[in-house]
């Protein structure tokens, strides 16, 4: 049975913010979280019907044995996670979705020890707030367990290196300072061994295992480089302190073992060590920094900026000079292979047997000075594999045996080349195959945005093929994090059917009304969570947005909801250059925005939707003396923004939309460089953040006059990550005062009334509150701290009333998952319903749709679209009346547009004809428990009993065959269901309720029938 539900009193936000305490100071325990039954949604269209792909971007493989390997990849419904495979579709499966849904746990540093694979990941999603975790796995779901979650020492603390010695795993952890840890695979046995540095430095700390000894690096108090070893019970032994500058470094690829000796480099000097202080000595100093080391059969090869060398621990021998630094040094067989560049053959594949005569080009794949630019050399299964280009616009996978004749192409594909960017093709050994990525042929799509397909090869042309998807389903159509807006009864959004480019679509919630408007190379590019720049805006029934058609650059476009009416408005910067257009804002039925062109420089523009009517309002001038127009904000019928022109430093401006009505309000810091942003109107007062040019940030307010533009409070370290939200007569925002990190603040416009509400993440660490959303008499928001991770918080505007609302997933990383470091957690407010919706995570339901009314009892999972621990991860919300638009995914269809009915709130009304309407305007979402029908459209209502007693709900007098169900909104339990009453085709249900109890009332129809209905709610005498 599928039910729609809504819990708690549905209150309308209004009135003044009341000072009140916590609704329930105790966070919701997992055993008391109210879980609803599955909820039906309507998927309006499967836009991308291309078959699902094999997991993409394979990397970091480790062989488990038995022809099976673990590797890292992502697919249509998961972020970057850990997989296992044998090189075939049938033998490939997800090990565990550590960060459920589209968020990535980002497994790294896969290391085999004790017959298990150890790795680091962030199960809360990869971002600067989440802590790194040490995991281990035997390749099964049950055998993939958390070893230890590391205490976050700073926002940038990461596990950066890992190695094993005798079954013990060692790793480097921290930001400032770095630390050496070891683990026996248990939490108790994962312990700190040694501080590697007493202060911060821009340097690496590396590990190398010889099987019995661990070598590692550190820094002393003067930041000099230290070489250490860790050997059994002896512990840490300092081998050498090397005087270097603060930025000298020792990257892992310059740290290698040759026989019984360790070789490493420090800047231009090659060192060796036999594991004793006396035997740790410099070998040679080169004319330029050493860029690569590789051991081949007891011989060390190394490269600097112009030459290839070898050494046995004595004076190096020059093998050959090159025009560029030899790269990708790789041992294969008994020889070294590398990429070398000379004036005659360009960049090609070379080999060396350790002699000058034996240092030669393997094959001139592209005769002449350009070369084939080989990269990604991998020795596997008796062959040397690499990618190279043989003609302009093509690249391919090659296999070599070290001879000219034996160097052959296995697969070629179309790919634009970029001399400044080497695109990875992810050559990864997995079981019986070498996996690699092939970009789709997508002309005009930026190189880094082209979809990838995973291929496999066994080393033969015949055995090289594309891997198919792991299930029968179609790909995602979603290409943007947010819809563009609602215009004329339709939601506009960007999607892809799999063809090159981005497509503008609209939907009215029906399959027929979900239509493609236009495909362009780029449509409405998004900014990240922190910037809050609108990608589009609706003005007078027209959607305005930015787009690039491949001819005019990124410019202003509009759509009236038809294909022919989706057109370029004006090319502000003639030709392919873009006008840097942003801040699309509606004021009095007119579009305003900021842009740059070669005639006016940075300017405030207005547009009536025509080319002739798109004109600059105010130019700030050309050249270095003028700056960007930014932060367009409407308040009191005027437009406010930040700008600086040739006469003034950065200041606050206002405009009524005319040149003569556009003027400077005030320059907060005359004579000094400043910047203003986060302009927010609150009941006729404009708040904004200002940086004073001396490294500090301040909160200001303005009434639109020079004298009324004044400092509210200074002493902030930064307001750059602010998330300003107006609520009644107060401003809520995020700030860092250099004492507490980024935390939640409020201001009433006075210095005394501007203060931090809670130090959620104590000390200098950031809780990064965001997505502040009015709900009921308070605000809900997302914040991070180490005890709970990312969770839902609430404030009533007082310090005492700012608290954790619910602990969806107890303990870190929490029940809310950022999709990425740039796009954090979205909360979608239904302010008139007193509700907010969000995607929450629990282990029973994965990442699914949750709701909150700001109370513990009223916060629960609304639906489990993909039953069990798998995730549909709904987001990209928009509202069409009583329907919710969002994107969600399942294996059959990928991430596609869906609609969900939002129950109408009937309050506590009683009597005849409490509601009169038609189910024909609804969708088929609910199956009443007393019928088999799931096809007829239905309507659902929330109603709260005004008093205790028996109430009769009836559709008597309706014009078609109805069914009626009353259910509990929290549990989904039916309280009463009826198809036909007596001899009629209408329905009646009697239910005993307590005062204040909220129920859901669903009116449905027989088979596919819909029609006009009456709903009566009658209290029993």
End-to-end alpha carbon distance in the chain:
33
Per-residue burial over 977-986, b = 16 or more CB atoms within 10 Å of its CB, e = otherwise: bbbbbeeebb
The predicted pLDDT at position 337 comes to 98
The predicted pLDDT at position 17 comes to 30
* Degrees to nearest 5, angle at CA 756 with 751 and 757: 125
Per-residue burial over 309-342, b = 16 or more CB atoms within 10 Å of its CB, e = otherwise: bbbbeeebeebbebeebbbbbbbbbebbbbbbbb
CA 522 to CA 839: how far, in whole Å?
Answer: 28
Going from the C-alpha of 43 to that of each of 493, 845, 884, 888, the distances in angstroms are 15, 20, 12, 9
The predicted pLDDT at position 647 comes to 77
Helix (H, G, I), strand (E, B) or coil at 919: helix
- Delineate the domains of the chain, giving CATH numbers in brackets: 107-263+483-674 (no CATH), 905-1020 (2.60.120.380)
Which is it for strands 178-183 and 168-174: parallel, antiparallel or unpaired? Answer: antiparallel
CA 451 to CA 76: how far, in whole Å?
Answer: 12
The predicted pLDDT at position 446 comes to 61
Q: Mean pLDDT for each consecutive 10-residue tract of the chain (1021 residues)?
A: 24 27 31 36 84 95 95 93 97 94 92 96 79 94 95 80 94 85 96 83 80 88 86 87 69 79 90 94 93 94 96 95 95 96 92 97 90 95 95 91 95 78 89 94 65 94 96 90 91 91 91 92 76 82 94 95 96 90 93 91 94 94 70 94 84 95 90 79 91 82 96 82 62 88 92 95 86 91 90 94 93 81 81 90 86 89 83 91 89 91 87 93 79 78 93 94 86 86 89 92 89 95 81
The predicted pLDDT at position 799 comes to 95
What's this model's pTM, rounded to 2 decimal places? 0.85
Encoded tokens for 381? 């299964």
Which of 894, 986, 966 lies closest to 48 in space, CA to CA? Answer: 894
The predicted pLDDT at position 449 comes to 67
What one-character-per-residue DSSP string does 768-818 give?
--EEEEEETTEEEEEEEETTTEEEEEEE-SSSTTEEEEE-SSSSTTBS---
The predicted pLDDT at position 406 comes to 96
**Is 60 within 8 Å of 74 (Cβ atoms)?**
no
CA 832 to CA 517: how far, in whole Å?
Answer: 32
Number of neighbouring beta carbons within 10 Å of residue 721: 18
């Amino acid at each position: 049975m599928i039910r729609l539900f809504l819990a708690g009193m549905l209150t309308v936000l209004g009135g003044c913010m009341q000072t009140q305490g916590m609704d329930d100071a105790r966070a919701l325990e997992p055993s008391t979280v109210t879980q609803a039954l599955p909820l039906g949604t309507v998927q309006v269209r499967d836009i991308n019907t291309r078959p699902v792909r094999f997991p993409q971007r394979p990397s970091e493989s480790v062989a488990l044995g038995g022809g099976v390997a673990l590797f890292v990849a992502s697919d249509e419904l998961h972020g970057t996670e850990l997989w296992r495979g044998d090189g075939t579709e049938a033998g490939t499966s997800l090990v565990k979705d550590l960060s459920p849904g589209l968020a990535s746990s980002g497994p790294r540093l896969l290391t085999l020890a004790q017959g298990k694979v150890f790795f680091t990941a962030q199960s809360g999603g990869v971002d600067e707030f989440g802590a790194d975790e040490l995991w281990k796995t035997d390749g099964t779901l049950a055998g993939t367990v958390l070893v230890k979650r590391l205490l976050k020492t700073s926002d940038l603390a990461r596990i950066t290196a890992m190695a094993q010695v005798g079954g013990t795993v060692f790793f480097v952890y921290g930001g400032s300072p770095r630390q050496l840890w070891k683990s026996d695979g248990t939490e108790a046995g994962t312990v700190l061994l040694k501080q590697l540095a007493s202060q911060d430095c821009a340097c690496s700390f590396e590990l190398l295992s010889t099987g019995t000894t661990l070598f590692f690096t550190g820094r002393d108090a003067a930041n000099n480089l230290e070489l250490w070893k860790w050997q059994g019970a002896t512990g840490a032994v300092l081998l050498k302190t090397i005087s270097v500058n603060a930025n000298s470094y020792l990257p892992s690829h310059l740290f290698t073992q040759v026989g019984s000796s360790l070789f490493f480099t420090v800047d231009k000097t090659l060192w060796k060590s036999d594991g004793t202080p006396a035997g740790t000595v410099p070998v040679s100093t080169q004319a330029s920094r050493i860029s690569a080391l590789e051991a081949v059969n007891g011989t060390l090869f190394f490269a600097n900026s112009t030459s290839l060398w070898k050494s046995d621990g004595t004076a190096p021998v020059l093998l050959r000079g090159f025009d560029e630094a030899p790269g990708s040094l790789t041992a294969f067989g008994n020889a070294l292979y590398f990429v070398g560049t000379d004036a005659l053959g360009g960049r090609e594949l070379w080999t060396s047997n350790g002699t000058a005569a034996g240092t030669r080009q393997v094959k001139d794949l592209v005769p002449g000075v350009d070369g084939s630019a080989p990269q990604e050399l991998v020795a596997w299964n008796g062959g040397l594999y690499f990618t190279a280009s043989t003609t302009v616009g093509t690249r391919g996978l090659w296999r070599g045996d070290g001879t000219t004749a034996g160097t052959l192409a296995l697969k070629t594909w179309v790919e634009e080349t970029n001399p400044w960017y080497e695109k990875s093709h992810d050559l990864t050994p997995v079981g019986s195959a070498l996996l690699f990525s092939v970009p789709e042929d997508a002309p005009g799509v930026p190189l880094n945005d082209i979809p990838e397909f995973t291929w496999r090869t066994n080393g033969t042309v015949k055995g090289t093929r594309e891997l198919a998807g792991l299930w029968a389903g179609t790909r995602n159509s979603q290409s943007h994090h947010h819809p563009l807006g609602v215009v004329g009864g339709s939601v506009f959004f960007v999607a892809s059917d799999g063809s090159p480019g981005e497509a503008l679509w609209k939907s009215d919630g029906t399959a027929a009304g979900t239509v493609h408007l236009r495909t362009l190379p780029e449509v409405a590019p998004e900014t990240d969570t922190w910037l809050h720049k609108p990608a589009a805006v609706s003005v007078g029934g027209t959607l305005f947005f930015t787009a690039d058609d491949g001819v005019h650059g990124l410019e202003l476009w509009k759509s009236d909801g038809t294909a022919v009416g989706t057109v370029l408005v004006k090319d502000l910067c003639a030709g392919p250059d873009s006008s840097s257009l942003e801040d699309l804002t509606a004021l009095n039925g007119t579009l305003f925005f900021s842009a740059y062109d070669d005639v006016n420089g940075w300017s405030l523009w207005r547009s009536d939707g025509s080319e002739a009517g798109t004109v600059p309002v105010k130019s700030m001038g050309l050249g270095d003396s003028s700056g960007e127009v930014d932060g367009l904000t409407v308040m009191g019928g005027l437009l406010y923004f930040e700008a600086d022109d040739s006469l003034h430093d950065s200041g606050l401006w206002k405009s009524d939309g005319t040149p003569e009505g556009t003027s400077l309000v005030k320059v907060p810091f005359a004579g000094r460089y400043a910047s203003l942003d986060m302009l927010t109107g609150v009941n006729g007062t404009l708040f904004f953040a200002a940086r004073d040019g001396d490294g500090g940030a301040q909160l200001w307010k303005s009434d639109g006059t020079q004298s009324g533009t004044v400092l509210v409070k200074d002493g902030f370290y930064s307001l750059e990550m602010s998330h300003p939200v107006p609520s009644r007569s107060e401003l809520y925002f995020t700030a860092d005062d250099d004492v507490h990190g980024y935390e939640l603040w409020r201001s009433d416009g006075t210095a005394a009334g501007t203060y931090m509400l809670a130090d959620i993440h104590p000390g200098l660490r950031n809780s990064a509150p965001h997505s502040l959303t009015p709900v009921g008499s308070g605000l809900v928001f997302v914040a991070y701290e180490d005890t709970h991770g990312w969770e839902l918080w609430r404030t009533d505007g007082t310090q005492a009333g700012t608290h954790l609302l619910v602990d969806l997933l107890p303990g870190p990383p929490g029940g809310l998952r950022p999709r990425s470091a740039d796009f954090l957690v979205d909360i979608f407010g239904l302010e008139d319903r007193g509700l907010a919706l969000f995607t929450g995570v629990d282990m029973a339901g994965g990442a699914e749709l949750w709701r909150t009314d700001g109370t513990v009892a009223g916060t629960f999972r609304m639906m489990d679209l993909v039953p069990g621990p798998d995730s549909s991860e709904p987001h990209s919300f928009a509202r069409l009346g009583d329907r919710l638009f969002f994107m969600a995914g399942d294996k059959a269809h990928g991430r596609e547009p869906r609609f969900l009915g939002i129950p109408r709130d009937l309050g506590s009304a009683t009597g005849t004809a409490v509601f009169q309407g038609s189910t024909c305007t609804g969708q088929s979402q609910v199956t009443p428990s007393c019928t088999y029908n799931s096809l007829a459209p239905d309507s659902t209502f929330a109603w709260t009993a005004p008093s205790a007693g028996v109430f009769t709900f009836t559709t008597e007098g309706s014009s078609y065959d109805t069914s009626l169900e009353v259910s509990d909104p929290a549990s989904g339990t039916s309280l009463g269901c009826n198809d036909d009453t007596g001899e009629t085709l209408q329905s009646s249900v009697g239910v005993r309720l307590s005062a204040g109890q909220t129920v859901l009332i669903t009116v449905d129809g027989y088979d596919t029938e819909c029609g006009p209905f009456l709903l009566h709610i009658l209290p029993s005498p």
